[in-house]
Chains A and B, each alone.
Chain A
Amino acid sequence: MDNYSEISALLEKLCGAKGVSGAESDAAAVAAQLLGRYMPVSVDALGSVTGTKGEGGVHILLDAHLDQIGLVVTAIDEDGFLKVAKCGGADIRVLAAAEVTVHGRQKLFGVITSTPPHLSTPEDSGKAKGFDDIAVDIGMDKATAEKYVSLGDRITFNGEFLRLAGSRVSSPSIDDRAGVAAILRCLEILGDKELGCRLSVCFSVQEETGGSGAQTAAFAAHADEAIAVDVSFASAPNVSSEKYAALGGGAMIGFAPSLDYEMSRRLKDIADNKNIPNQCEVMGGKTGTNCDEIQVAGEGVKTALISIPLRNMHTAVEVCDLEDIESTARLMAEYITERSGADA
C-alpha cells in the first residue's frame, strides 16, 4: 500500500473495462456501479451513464467521457484476417504489430499485421502503413473467423496497467477514464454532506467520434453550469514544455472563448487559494472536448474545462500522474462546495 493505492486501483478498474465509441456497455457497467455509490444512476438512450443528487440552488453538471478510441471491423478477408477502420482518432504510427482484443461473440486476441523488412523498401520504412495495408491477425481461417466476428465489432488496443516511478501510471484508455476517476474521487471527497445545490454527473459516450453523448446528456440534465473533465497534452520530448502542461503540475484549468470566463476564473482562484496544484491551458476558440457540445446544449450552458495532463495520447501507453487526478478532484469538490447555496 502506498499513498496512491486507492486512486490507482480505481483508475485500473476503469481502464480495465473496455468501451470503444458506440459500444461502451462494458465500461458503462463498471462506471454505473461505481457512480451508484453516490447517487441514483440511469443510462440514457445513447448509453451515457447519468446520475443526480441534491435539490435547490445552482445545478452543476460534471462530465467525463466513457469511450476510448479503437478500431472497427469492416471485412474478413479470404485468409481470415480482419480488415479494419478507425473508430475515434487512432494513431496509425502505433499500429504495426500492436496487440489487440476483438470484441466479437467472444473476446479474441489479435495482432495487427506488420510488414517484414524483406518487403519494405528503404523509403517506406520510415512511414506507417495506412488502414488499406494492414489487417488484424486472429490466427483463424475465414470460416472460423466468421463464427466469432461480425462486421462492426469493435477492437481495443491491449496494454497492461503499469505503475511507473512515483505517482505515474501507464495504460490504454486513460483518456478519459482519468476524468471518470477524478469525478468519482470528487464525489468521495464531498461525501454525504448536504450540498445546497443540485449535482449531476454524466459519463458520456461517443466523445471520440464527435460528442453526441455529451450533447444529448447535457440537454437532458438542463444544468446551469457544467464542468467537463478530459485529458490534455503533457510535455515530453518533442512536445514543448513552453506550450504544453507539466505532467504532475496539477489540474489544467481551461481558458477559451467558448468557455465561461467567470467559471474559469473562479476555478483558478479557488485552486490558488486552497493550494491545489494547477496550471492554465489557454485555447483560442473551441476546446476539442465535450465542452463544445455541452455549451450549446438546449438554450446553452455555462461551461468550464479541467484537463488532466497526459503523455502519448491515443496510444496503448498513455501516461498520467495520479497526483493530477487528485488535484482535479479536489478542485471540483472545492468549487461545488463554494457554489453551494448560490442562486441558480
Chain B
Amino acid sequence: MLEMIKELCTLPGISGRECAVREYIIEKIKDYAEYSVDPLGNLLVFKKGRNPAKNKVMLDAHMDEVGLIITAITSEGYLRFAKVGGIDTRVIIGRPVRVGDKSVSGVIGIKPVHLVEKSAEADIPKADDLYIDIGAKNREEAEALVRLGDAAWFAGDFVEFGNGFIKSKALDDRAGCAILIEMIKSELEYDAWFSFSVQEEIGTRGAQTAAFTLAPDYAIVVETTTAADISGVKDEKRVCLCGKGGVVSFMDRSTLYSRELFDKAFEIAEKNGIACQPKTLVSGGNDAGAIHKSRGGVKVLTVSVPCRYLHSPSCVIKYSDVEESLKLIKAMAEELAK
C-alpha cells in the first residue's frame, strides 16, 4: 500500500482536474470490481462481497488535492494565481510548483528580506500579490508554456523519514484513496459501494452527487485530518496524534456525526485490537457534510489518518496509522452491512 500511496501522491489532481488520479485508480481496481464515472467525474465502484449486504454502505475518499489555478499572465511573464482549496499563504511562499499540461517548473517568489523594513520582516504578503516565476522574460514567452486556467500543483518528492513517517503533497486524501483501493482489491464479506469523489476541497461538490446516485444507508468517509501533535502544542489542542491510529470524529464544522456509529467504531476497534482515537477538537469538514444530507439523510462515520501540516506541500503522516485505519474501516463496513 505504501508504494500505491507514493504513486497516488505524485499524480497531479487539484479540484476539478482529477483525471490522472481517476485513471490510476481505474487501472488498479478494474479487475476487482465494476465501476462507472458520473457527470462530475466521481469514480463510483461496486465491489461484490461473499454475501449481499443488508444495508448499503458507501465508502468515500476524495481524489482532489489543494493547489493553484493560473488566473493571469503579466506583461513581464509572471503568472498570477488563485488558491484552489484552503491553503495558508505562509506554506506556499518560496516553494517550487509545476504548471499545466507541460508540467512547467516555476517558483513562488518573495521580495528579499534584506529589502523589507525591520518592522515588516514577519509580514506575509497577501496571496493576491504572489506570483509564479517560470523564468519567462515576457508574456509571449510565458504564453508559449502556460494557458489561463491551467492547474498548478506543489512540486516535491515523496520521502520516508524518522520512525515510520512519510512526507508528500496530496496525502490529503490520496492516503484515503489508497485505503479504499486496498479494500477493493481484497475479499469482502459483504457487497460494498465506493466513491472516489471529486472537488472535496472546494466544498464537497462531488460527494453530494455521488451520494445521491449511490443512495446509501450508511457512509464511511475516509480522510486525513489535522494533527497538531507538534512542538509547543499541548493536550486537546493537538486534535489527534500520529501513531495512535485512525481518528474518529463526533463533530466537525460540517457534520454532527451519528453517535451510534461513533460509539460502534470504538467498540469494534477495542474488540479487534485496532488502534483508534477521537478527534479532540471541532474543526474542519469533509465529504460527510454533503453525504449526511443526501436524499432522506445518511448516517455517517469519518475515519481519518492523522496528518501534520495538512494542505501544505509537505504533509506528514505515520504509515502505521494508514494500516490501522484500513483495519477499522474494513471492520466497520462489515459491521454496518450486516
A interface residues, Cβ below 8 angstroms from B: 77, 79, 81, 83, 89, 91-94, 96-99, 108-111, 113-120, 125-130, 133-135, 137-141, 144, 159-160, 162-166, 168-170, 233, 236-239, 248, 288, 311-317, 319
Establish whether residues B122 and A138, one from each chain, have CB atoms under 8 Å apart when the complex forms. no
| With A93-B123, A139-B164, A165-B104 already in contact, 9 other A-B pairs whose C-beta atoms are closer than 8 Å | A89-B114, A93-B124, A99-B156, A110-B161, A128-B122, A135-B232, A144-B162, A164-B106, A237-B76
A162 near B107 (CB under 8 angstroms)? yes
Question: How far does the Cβ of A123 sit from chain B's closest Cβ, in whole Å?
Answer: 12
Q: A128-B90, A133-B232, A138-B161 are in contact. Are A164 and B111 (CB under 8 A)?
A: no
Q: 6 smallest A-B Cβ distances: which pairs?
A: A139-B162, A164-B135, A168-B135, A94-B94, A139-B165, A135-B231
Report the separation of the CA atoms of residues A109 and B165 in the bound assembly, to the nearest whole angstrom: 10
CB–CB B121/A92 < 8 A: yes
The answer for the CA separation of A111 and B229 in the assembled complex, in Å, is 13
Q: A87: shortest Cβ distance to chain B, in Å?
A: 15
Taking a contact as CB atoms under 8 Å apart, the answer to whether A236 and B281 are in contact is no
Interface of B is mostly: loop
Contact B88 A170 (CB under 8 A): no
Any chain A CB within 8 A of the CB of B337? no
Contact with A along B239-273 (1 / 0, CB 8 A): 10000000000000000000000000000000000
Number of A-B contacts (CB under 8 A): 213
Cα distance A163–B316 in the bound complex, in angstroms: 27
User: B309 touching A114 by the CB < 8 A rule?
Assistant: yes
Inside 8 A of A91's CB, which chain B residues have their CB? 94, 110, 112-113
Question: In the complex the two chains form, what is the Cα distance from A93 to B130 in whole Å?
Answer: 13
Question: Within the assembled complex, what's the spacing in Å between the Cα atoms of A109 and B112?
Answer: 26
Q: How many residues of B contact A (CB 8 A)?
A: 70
Q: Can you list 19 A-B contacts (CB < 8 A)?
A: A93-B122, A93-B123, A97-B309, A108-B161, A109-B167, A111-B316, A114-B91, A127-B123, A134-B231, A162-B107, A165-B141, A168-B135, A233-B112, A237-B109, A313-B113, A314-B113, A315-B94, A319-B109, A319-B135
Is the pair B167, A99 in contact by a Cβ cutoff of 8 Å?
Answer: yes
Interface positions of B (Cβ within 8 A of A): 74, 76-78, 86, 88-91, 93-96, 104-115, 121-126, 129, 131, 133-137, 141-142, 145, 155-156, 159, 161-165, 167, 226, 228-233, 237, 239, 281, 283-284, 308-310, 312-314, 316, 318
Contacts of B129 in A (CB 8 A): 237-238
Q: Which of A79, A113, A128, A236 contacts B124 (CB 8 A)?
A: A128
Most buried by B among A92, A130, A162, A248: A162
Asked if B167 contacts A317 (CB within 8 A), the reply is: no
Residues in B neighbouring A164, C-beta threshold 8 A: 105-107, 133-135
A238 to B313: give the CA distance in the assembly, Å: 25
Q: Which chain B residues border A110 with CB–CB below 8 Å?
A: 161
Instruction: Point out the residues of chain B lying under 8 angstroms from A129, CB to CB.
Output: 122
Q: What residues of B have a CB within 8 angstroms of the CB of A96 in the complex?
A: 88, 90-91, 312
A319: contacting residue among B91, B107, B162, CB under 8 A: B107
Q: Which residue of A lies closest to B130 (CB)?
A: A237
Report chain A residues within 8 Å CB of B314: 97-99, 111
Q: Which residue of the partner chain, among B107, B114, B121, B226, contacts A317 with CB atoms under 8 Å? A: B107
- Asked whether A315 and B110 contact (CB < 8 A) given A99-B167, A111-B314, the answer is yes
Residues of A within 8 A of B106 (CB): 164
A313 to B96, CA, bound (A): 15
A173–chain B nearest beta-carbon distance, Å: 13
| B163 and A239 contact, CB distance less than 8 A | no
A117 and B105 CA atoms in complex are apart in Å by 28
Known: A93-B110, A96-B312, A98-B314. Is A109-B161 also a contact (CB below 8 A)? yes
Checking B86, B115, B135, B229 against A117 with a beta-carbon cut-off of 8 angstroms, the contacting residue is B86
Given A237-B78, A317-B95, is A93 in contact with B113 using a C-beta cutoff of 8 Å?
yes
B109: chain A residues at CB < 8 Å are 236-237, 311-312, 315, 317, 319
Given contacts A110-B161, A313-B114, contact A125 B88 (CB under 8 A): yes
Shortest CB–CB separation between residue B114 and chain A, in angstroms? 7
Asked if residues A116 and B226 are in contact (CB atoms below 8 Å), the reply is yes
Which residues in A have their C-beta under 8 angstroms from that of B231?
A: 77, 79, 81, 83, 113, 134-135, 137
User: In the complex where A116-B226, A138-B161 touch, is A236 in contact with B111 (Cβ < 8 A)?
Assistant: yes
Rounded to whole angstroms, the CA-CA distance of A110 and B316 in the bound complex is 10
Partner of B122, one of A92, A114, A115: A92
CA distance A125 to B131 in the complex (A): 19
Q: Among the interface residues A127, A312, A319, which one has the most CB atoms of the partner chain B within 10 A?
A: A312
Chain B residues within 8 Å of A166, by CB: 135-137, 141
Partner of B96, one of A115, A128, A162: A162
